Amino acid sequence: MVLKKEGNKEGNRIADRLPVLSEAEQKDATKPVSVSWALELASQDIGYVWVDHERTYCVLQVSAENTLRCVRVYNYEDGFWFLSMVRATCAVAGIRLELDGYALVQQPPRLDEGSTGSEDSGGGEEGDEEVQTSMAEGYDEGFARGWA
pLDDT reported for residue 11: 54
Q: What is the rounded CA–CA span in Å between residue 17 and residue 84?
A: 9
pLDDT score of 138 more than 50? no
Q: Of 96, 39, 100, nearest to 63 (Cα)?
A: 96
pLDDT score of 94 more than 90? yes
Please state the rounded mean pLDDT for residues 13-25.
Answer: 95
pLDDT score of 135 more than 90? no
Q: What is the pLDDT of residues 44-92, one digit of tens each?
A: 999 999 999 888 999 999 999 999 999 999 999 999 999 999 999 999 9
Report CA-CA distances (Å) from 98 to 88, 119, 135.
13, 24, 20
Q: One-letter amino acid identity for 49?
A: V
pLDDT reported for residue 63: 97
Count the alpha carbons within 13 Å of 41 in the hemisphere toward its beta carbon: 33
Please state the rounded mean pLDDT for residues 9-14.
Answer: 67
Q: What is the rounded CA–CA span in Å between residue 58 and residue 70?
A: 7
Q: What is the rounded CA–CA span in Å between residue 33 and residue 57?
A: 21
pLDDT reported for residue 48: 98
Domain boundaries, the chain: 14-106
Q: What is the rounded CA–CA span in Å between residue 56 and residue 13?
A: 19
Higher pLDDT, 90 or 109: 90
Residue 112's pLDDT band (boundaries 50, 70, 90)? low
pLDDT score of 137 more than 70? no
pLDDT reported for residue 134: 46
